[in-house]
Amino acid sequence: MAAEDLVSFEPATGVEVWRGRVGDVDEIVSRARRAWPAWAALPLATRIEMVRRFANEVRKDAEKLAEMIARETGKPMWEARTEVESVVNKVEISIRAYAERTAQRKLDSAIQGTAALRHKPHGVMAVLGPYNFPAHLPNGHIVPALIAGNVIVFKPSEKTPATGEMLAQCFHRAGISAAVVQVLFGGPEQGQELVAHDGIDGVLFTGSAHAGIAINRKLASNPGKVVALEMGGNNPIVVWDTPKLADAAVIVVQSAFTSAGQRCSAARRLIVKDSLYDPLITEVKRLADRIIVGAPFDNPPPFMGPVIDNRTADGLTESFVYLLSNGGKVIKHMVRLRDDLPFLSPAIIDVTAMEDRPDVELFGPLLQVIRVDDFDAAIAEANATRFGLSASLVGGTPQDYNRFWANIRAGIVNWNRPTNGASSAAPFGGVGLSGNHRPSAYYAADYCAYPVASTEVDQPRASIGVGLKDD
């Protein structure tokens, strides 16, 4: 393999999916800068029409794109198809959001003229995508940024470059210039160079807190670049008084193990009332034991596939052993189902007795359980994290939920629903180590354009009424 090559492998088989050349950051950014004025000068209606054409191109290629997502991430085909649907749906949602969040406004005054509010694009935006939703999540930045008049340099995760390439091709077939949406292939080194490049006006990032903090630190002395960070979570799901324990168990399992736990909004910690512990854990374990772990195209379809690679699988099994060695009590073991491939069974461990629970995002099918005596303790335990992305209460009364909602520090707070699966028609983001107060999804329009306030009169008209000598 040449030093300049980037290679992607299927997690489920180890087979090579894609091979390509690492990109030249300077060349790509220079091309984007040359393309930006013409794209920004297009009427908004034209840009909207072009992203609608993009949605049609994705529809035409939906099955092919879903197959590539499934192959490159290892997620089941049913889930990959859902991701492609989200890519298509994002277009109309982004059009509505731009109209609502960045609407032009005028306030007329006969004497003072017109006060106007309009929005301008930033320029060249770097979009850094993750591997878990390699089409949907970067697309959630790209489409709003294009509508606003920005051009894009998209660096997909080095683990999912083929999906990124296919996504870009859909934009190009829709008539959006290959200079307006460019793909930068590469690893962390290229990502760091792109973030720091003088020709980049904004950085839109989805990924780990570690990488997001590094970006934030790198750009701390450069307030001219807009930075939107969507990072991970150590998300709690609290189960309280409810007679519907089977339903509660389903919500817990969906929260913890969908996408093999590789969602930033996945539940990492189950906090349960002491009196419900035994019956609930029995239901959760029974359901987790039934989960089919398999390859994307298996029949019957699996609930979850492998994690992204062997290094990730090794790290998760080591984390499980660490929790076990430091006071954790096994409810369901994490099993490496194949020595040579990253298939893991869903794992559950009681960490109530651990004195110092690590406040980290364990990005995989590993659920930690904590039992508590009262609701105040449940809320305190849920908030015992530096992250603040998603939290759910299952069970309880409306009054309990009001207390939960008021006191939980998170950007997404749900009741009797999973921690994951948020709506694109709402903002998506968190606080603490989960984000920098620039939520994506419906609010992406906010960081894709900046407001410009104007006072306008068609002819100059002015006088000074005080403080002048007689003429």
pLDDT, mean of each 10-residue run, the chain (471 residues): 79 98 98 98 98 98 98 98 98 97 84 88 98 98 98 98 98 98 98 98 97 96 96 97 97 98 98 98 98 98 98 98 98 96 98 95 98 98 98 98 98 98 92 96 97 90 91 80
Is the CB of residue 287 less than 8 Å from the CB of residue 254? no
Catalytic residue among 79, 193, 230, 283: 230
Tell me, yes or no, whether 422 lies in a domain: no
Tell me, yes or no, whether 466 lies in a domain: no
| pLDDT value of residue 1 | 38
Tell me, yes or no, whether 423 lies in a domain: no
Kindly state whether residues 289 and 380 are assigned to the same domain.
Answer: yes
Q: Where do the H-state alpha helices sit in 102-218?
A: 136-148, 161-173, 188-196, 209-218
Question: Minimal CA–CA distance to 28: which of 226, 200, 204, 207?
Answer: 200
Question: Is 264 part of the annotated catalytic residue set?
Answer: yes
SS3 state at 449:
strand
Kindly state whether residues 244 and 367 are assigned to the same domain.
Answer: yes
Kindly state whether residues 332 and 385 are assigned to the same domain.
Answer: yes
DSSP single-letter state for residue 98 = H
Q: CATH number, domain at 147?
A: 3.40.605.10
| pLDDT value of residue 4 | 81
- The CA distance from 330 to 321, in Å, is 10
Tell me, yes or no, whether 471 lies in a domain: no
Is the CB of residue 396 less than 8 Å from the CB of residue 369? no
Kindly state whether residues 243 and 188 are assigned to the same domain.
Answer: no
Tell me, yes or no, whether 426 lies in a domain: no
Tell me, yes or no, whether 421 lies in a domain: no
Close Cβ partners of 28 (under 8 Å, ≥ 6 residues apart): 153, 182, 184
Tell me, yes or no, whether 420 lies in a domain: no
Tell me, yes or no, whether 14 lies in a domain: yes
Kindly state whether residues 225 and 242 are assigned to the same domain.
Answer: no
Secondary structure element (H or E) that encloses residue 401, with its range: helix 398-407
Kindly state whether residues 69 and 217 are assigned to the same domain.
Answer: yes
Is the CB of residue 7 less than 8 Å from the CB of residue 16? yes
Kindly state whether residues 36 and 155 are assigned to the same domain.
Answer: yes
Confidence (pTM): 0.96
Kindly state whether residues 226 and 325 are assigned to the same domain.
Answer: no
Is the CB of residue 235 less than 8 Å from the CB of residue 268? yes
Domain containing residue 198:
5-231+435-456
Kindly state whether residues 292 and 215 are assigned to the same domain.
Answer: no
Query: What is the number of residues in the chain?
Result: 471
Question: Is 189 part of the annotated catalytic residue set?
Answer: no
Please provide residue 230's backbone torsions phi and psi, each rounded to the nearest 5 degrees: -115, 105
Question: Minimal CA–CA distance to 341: which of 297, 302, 295?
Answer: 295
Kindly state whether residues 46 and 107 are assigned to the same domain.
Answer: yes
| pLDDT value of residue 461 | 83
Is the CB of residue 240 less than 8 Å from the CB of residue 394? yes
| pLDDT value of residue 258 | 98
Kindly state whether residues 199 and 310 are assigned to the same domain.
Answer: no
Q: CATH number, domain at 351?
A: 3.40.309.10
Within 10 Å of residue 184's Cβ, how many Cβ atoms? 25
Is the CB of residue 386 less than 8 Å from the CB of residue 432? yes
Catalytic residue among 83, 264, 283, 361: 264
| pLDDT value of residue 2 | 43
Question: Minimal CA–CA distance to 163: which of 57, 70, 53?
Answer: 70
Kindly state whether residues 26 and 41 are assigned to the same domain.
Answer: yes
- Number of structural domains the chain divides into: 2
